[in-house]
Chains A and B, each alone.
Chain A
Amino acid sequence: MDIIISGLLLGGTYALMAMGLNLQYGVARIMNLANGEMLVLGALAAFTFYVSVQLSPLLTMFIVAPAAFLLNWLIYRFLLRPLVRRAKNQGQLEVDSILATFGMSFALVGVMVSIQGGYFTYSFLADPFSILGTTVALNRLIAFILAVIIGLALYLWLHHSRPGMAVRAVAVSSDASKLVGINVSRVSALAFALGGAITAVGGTLISTFITLDASIGVIFTMKALIIVIMGGVGDIRGAIIAAAILGLVETAVASLIDPGLTLAAAYLIFLLVLLFRPQGLFGRRAT
């Protein structure tokens, strides 16, 4: 029971890291290597507002979401759309976007270092909370609940609304979407901006229980990448389920075998998925 609850909470954290990237990569076809930095930016906002004016991260979230949406929309509009236009095929776009966002990640690190070079660490709701006999941290629980809400809302929006359907259509085939009258360029910008906003909000929530610093983004990018690829590119359910599996396995290994083997276990599952289901848990086989 202990393991299941702690594992699910960790899975929620992972889902927060990966849902945004899934949208950006799955729909806008941008392999965003600055994903982790966007997350850390959300954390920096939470830290700064908390330390300077004691604003609860749960409120900061509502500032971060629109700001990150706008920032990511601008990034897509002015930095990435030229790459999309220029690209002859998806492979070229991926290479170009990897290079462009890799460079962007350094710029973002530089900006954040100039604001706060040390650790973003503060205490917010670091209180014990008991569910079914297991003690968990309240801040982790809240992040988990919000991860579930965000994930659910995203799922419903994607599957039960017209713009959501357009987003899914672009994820399946951008060429065919154009033929049925979807403004692919606008939908892509929307997906990229929405993905960035979700990632930044994830950072705001994660900063309440993980100590971050300006340079730590790359670790989150890596984890998000693993989850997105494991879950299947462009499917939000895949990312959430992959995140939950990873959280459960890591917690089980740490509790039952040895905490030193968590990383090894995570990569083992990743390897197994790549071997037996290379398109990811929910991915479509490439045609």
Chain B
Amino acid sequence: MNRRNFVAAAAKTVAAAGMAALLAGTALAADTIKLGAVAPKTGPLAGGSTVTHWPSIQLWVKQTNDKGGLKLKDGQKMIELIEYDDKTDPGEHIKAVQRAITQDEVDFLIAPYGTGFNVAVAPIYAKYGYPQIAVTSISDLIGELTERYPGLFFTLGDTTSFVNGVKDILVKMRDDGVIGNKVAMVNVADAFGIELAEVARPVFTEAGFDIVYDKSYPLGTPDLSPVVKGAKAANPDAFVAWSYPPDTFAITEQAAIENLDVKAFYTAVATAFPAYGGKFGSKINGVLGAGGVNPDTPAIAEYRKAHKDIMGQEPDYWASANTYASMQILGQAIEAVGSTDREAVTQYLKENEFDTIMGPIAFDEQVSNRFWTVGQWQDGVFRGVASSNIDGAVPVIAKSGWE
């Protein structure tokens, strides 16, 4: 066989094999439900999404497939999860969503990670009629957004309830005589931090608190010691930081070094990460933070164990559980409708109650009002101390030093 013949023969073989694979793919596709997931695996938000977002989705898909898949009218179907990395870039994200819809022809999409991304993709989801059960998305525009996009659901609360959770805890500690009136507040100068600080200013002032230090710092500031020193110099009774993951770690470390000795110390996102507990150990006993869970309920305990055993890492103490619950909700709605009719599934989501690891969840005007707002590290576990409509909050304790 000369070279030209060989090449031609090889090309034919490859083409035939490719065709066979393609046919097999189509045959398989009819028996599966395709779920598309687009979220960061690299880029600035990847550190958070690889803790909170991806593992819970993958865990649910694996567990559901291990049971044989989702039960539809025409038989039980396995789930095929199609994952895309959006590189934390909105442009990439939208391209990937469009690809998932038009090329992969996914049956359903899993809502993205992060407030900005959820808001950014809502028009595309709406255009193609995909329901969007947003989890890691907190905003005060929820009412406006749900009105505009009939398939958009929220499960983690709005900015005001998030801030009110913190205020209620501080008021309670003041009423108990644990802290006084002086609050030092800092925020990361990014959409989320700025919105929280803007909502918090009037809320804290109306509750009778005196904001003695109020500064913002740019995202990615390498040295936060001037911020912590400034807050300490204002001699506050409580310290609140509307912070993001890298600075949550940095502020806490500086506070311990500067011995910012307040009875109430709050940092926002990432306080609920297992890595936070792993890094600081017993130093952070009494630290307050965004989120919380009640790890003692059997459903949550079972979920946490499975997450650790199957995914090889611990879930966080906040939105991990909400993310898993959102998958349960989607799965139950698809099974109840019995097909991949997206319109019927969206309608079913609006009208029914779902049994999740966080208890029963139903949507009122496309918003679930069951979520945790504030948690606290108590003896190595980050427990919920304030919530909206969830039982099991534990009493808040005063922080005593950094040892």
Q: Which residues on A are within 8 Å of B, measured CB to CB?
A: 2-3, 6, 9-10, 13-14, 109-110, 113, 117-119, 121-123, 126-128, 135-137, 140, 209-216, 219, 247, 250-251, 254-255, 258-260, 262-263
Inter-subunit contact B250/A128 (CB<8 Å): no
B51 at the binding interface (Cβ < 8 Å): yes
If A9-B223, A10-B223, A254-B227 touch, whether A260 touches B216 (CB-CB below 8 Å) is yes
Instruction: Say whether A260 contacts B46, CB under 8 Å.
Output: no
B259 partner residues in chain A, CB cutoff 8 A: 128, 135
Q: Which residues of B contact A (CB under 8 A)?
A: 41-44, 46-47, 50-51, 54, 88, 186, 189, 215-218, 220-227, 229-230, 245-246, 249-250, 253-254, 256-259, 270, 273, 275-276, 278-281, 313
Q: Are B221 and A117 in contact (CB under 8 A)?
A: no
- Given A118-B275, A123-B281, A260-B218 in contact, is the A128-B42 Cβ separation under 8 Å? no
Which residues from B are CB-within-8-Å of A211?
245-246, 249-250
B275 contacts A119, CB within 8 Å? Answer: yes
CA distance A137 to B42 in the complex (A): 30
In the complex where A118-B50, A122-B279 touch, is A215 in contact with B223 (Cβ < 8 A)? no
Write the chain A residue with the least CB distance to B270.
A119
Contact between B227 and A121 (Cβ–Cβ < 8 Å)? no
> Once the chains bind, are B47 and A119 in contact (CB under 8 Å)?
yes
Residue among A113, A127, A135 making CB contact with B42, cutoff 8 Å: A113
Residue of A nearest to B223 (CB): A10
Q: How far is the CB of B22 from chain A (nearest CB, A)?
A: 28
Chain A hits for B226, CB < 8 A:
3, 6, 251, 254-255, 259
A123/B279 in contact, CB under 8 A: yes
Q: Of A121, A137, A255, which one neighbours B257 at CB under 8 angstroms?
A: A137
B41 touches A117 (CB 8 A): yes
A212→B220 CA distance, assembly (Å): 10
Q: In the complex, what distance in Å separates the CA atom of A214 from the CA atom of B45?
A: 11
For B220, the chain A residues whose CB sits under 8 A away are 219
Which of the residues B43, B227, B250, B279 comes within 8 Å of A259, measured between beta carbons?
B227
**Cβ contact within 8 Å between A6 and B50:** no
Shortest distance between the CB of B260 and any CB in chain A (Å): 11
Contacts of B256 in A (CB 8 A): 126
**A6 CB to nearest B CB, Å:** 6
Tell me which of B50, B229, B246 contacts A255 (CB under 8 A).
Answer: B229
Chosen A-B contacts, 14 in total, with CB atoms closer than 8 Å, are: A109-B42, A121-B278, A121-B279, A128-B258, A140-B223, A210-B250, A211-B249, A215-B44, A215-B88, A219-B220, A259-B227, A259-B230, A260-B216, A260-B217
| A211 to B281 CA separation, bound complex (whole angstroms) | 16
Pairwise interchain contact B223-A251, C-beta atoms closer than 8 A: yes
Q: Give Cα A117 to B254, complex, Å.
A: 25
Residues on A with beta carbons closer than 8 Å to the beta carbon of B249? 119, 121, 211
Report A24 CB to chain B, min CB distance, Å: 22
**Among all A-B residue pairs, the 8 with the closest Cβ atoms:** A117-B50, A254-B226, A213-B47, A259-B217, A211-B249, A255-B226, A260-B216, A263-B218
Q: Cα distance A250–B227 when bound, in Å?
A: 12
Query: Can you name the residue of chain A whose Cβ is closest to the Cβ of B246?
Result: A211
Query: Chain B residues with Cβ under 8 A from A14's Cβ?
Result: 222
What residues of B have a CB within 8 angstroms of the CB of A210 in the complex?
222, 246, 250
- Cβ contact of A215, chosen from B43, B51, B227, cutoff 8 A: B43
Q: Which of B42, B223, B257 contacts A250 (CB 8 A)?
A: B223
Q: In chain B, what residue has the closest Cβ to A127?
A: B257
In the bound complex, CA of A187 to CA of B238 (Å): 57
Interchain CA distance A135-B226 in the complex, whole Å: 11
With a CB–CB cut-off of 8 A, which chain A residues contact B280? Answer: 123
Q: For B47, list chain A residues within 8 Å (CB).
A: 117-119, 213-215
CA distance A247 to B249 in the complex (A): 21
CA distance A8 to B230 in the complex (A): 18
Q: CA–CA, A210 to B224, complex, Å?
A: 10
* B246 touches which of A119, A126, A128, A259 (Cβ 8 Å): A119
Cβ of B245: which chain A residues have Cβ within 8 Å of it?
119, 211
Complex Cα distance, B257 from A127, in Å, reads 6
Q: A121-B275, A128-B258, A215-B88 are in contact. Are A262 and B253 (CB under 8 A)?
A: no
Partner of A137, one of B216, B218, B230, B253: B253
The residue from B51, B218, B230, B257 contacting A135, defined by CB atoms under 8 A apart: B257
CB distance from B239 to the nearest CB of A (A): 15
Q: B229, A214: Cβ atoms under 8 Å?
A: no
B87 to chain A, nearest CB (A): 8
Residue of B nearest to A209 (CB): B253
**How long is the Cα–Cα vector from A137 to B44 in the complex, in angstroms?**
26
Residue of B nearest to A252 (CB): B226
Residues of A within 8 A of B276 (CB): 121
Cβ distance B393 to chain A, nearest Cβ, rounded Å: 28
Once bound together, how far apart are the Cα atoms of A118 and B313, in whole Å?
10
CB-based nearest A residue for B51:
A118
Q: With contacts A215-B44, A255-B230, A260-B189 known, is A126 near B253, CB below 8 A? A: yes
Shortest distance between the CB of A137 and any CB in chain B (Å): 5
Q: What's the least CB distance linking B300 to chain A, in Å?
A: 21
Extra contacts besides A10-B222, A211-B245, A214-B46 (8): CB < 8 Å: A109-B42, A113-B46, A117-B41, A119-B246, A119-B249, A254-B217, A254-B226, A258-B215
Residues of B near A10 (CB, < 8 A) are 222-223
